[in-house]
Amino acid sequence: MRLRLTPRDTSFFDLLAASAQHLVTGSTLLAELLGADRPTRKQLAKQLSETEHLADDATHSIMRRLNQTFVTPFDRDDIYALASALDDCMDFMEEAADLIVLYKVDELPARVSEQVQVLQRASELTAEAMPRLRSMDDLPEYWVEVNRLENQADKVHRKLLAELFDDVSDPVLLMKLKEIVEVLEQAADAFEKVANTVETIALKES
């Protein structure tokens, strides 16, 4: 670890941890939404939207702190990239929930739950990893596992698309389901981007 002779604002670690914790809440709500009836889905989507607003607030707090702090714990561009990537994860999950409600999809393909399970696990790993940025300890296992999960999500995504084109004869429903599936895949990619950013930070700080 490089020796630092200047004080650092360590509040960034708390802010990043808070931002990641919102992802756990968001992915849990998304999982609950999949198996709910239509009225309950609306309520859960509303809760997820509220969580997304809280996540936005956390992101804005990080950005404000960046503008107010002269010496940061690590490269300020990396802090910006990490905060933005965390925000993207939440945005995609909230968008998927919103589309399910707006499109009034009664039944989702079974493999969609596999996509969301990946997001749940990725969110848990991310929330566990953010506090470890203070010491940079035990982070490689985090980004390796998230990359593995993203590869798993890619396979599920490809199988889902094949099944949709084989099984869904209604072209309008096909378009709706395909868009939901694609947004969930973007969420998995966003979690991988967070992990890659953490890896970049750790390598710079080693």
Quote the CA–CA distance of 140 and 185 in Å, as a whole number.
Answer: 23
CB 27 within 8 A of CB 191: no
Q: For residues 98 and 129, what is the distance between their CA atoms, to the nearest angstrom?
A: 28
Q: CATH number, domain at 14?
A: 1.20.58.220
pLDDT at 72: 78
Q: Are 66 and 132 in contact (CB under 8 A)?
A: no
Instruction: Count up the domains in the chain and report the number.
Output: 1
**How many CB atoms sit inside 10 A of residue 111's CB?**
16
Domain boundaries, position 117 = 8-203
Alpha helices in the chain (DSSP H): 11-34, 38-68, 76-102, 111-129, 140-167, 171-205
Q: Is residue 124 included in any domain, yes or no?
A: yes
Per-residue model confidence (pLDDT) at position 93:
98
- pTM greater than the 0.85 cutoff: yes
The answer to whether residue 132 is domain-embedded is yes
Residue 118 near residue 97 (C-beta atoms within 8 A): no
- A 10 A CB-CB count for 206 gives 8
3: in domain: no
61 is a domain residue: yes
Q: Which two tokens stand for residue 139?
A: 């982070």
Q: Is residue 2 one of the residues assigned to a domain?
A: no
Does 1 fall in a domain?
A: no
Q: Which amino acid belongs to residue 201?
A: I
The predicted pLDDT at position 194 comes to: 97
In the predicted model, residues of the chain with pLDDT beneath 70 are 1-10
The helix (run of H) or strand (run of E) holding residue 6 is: none
pLDDT score of 70 = 75
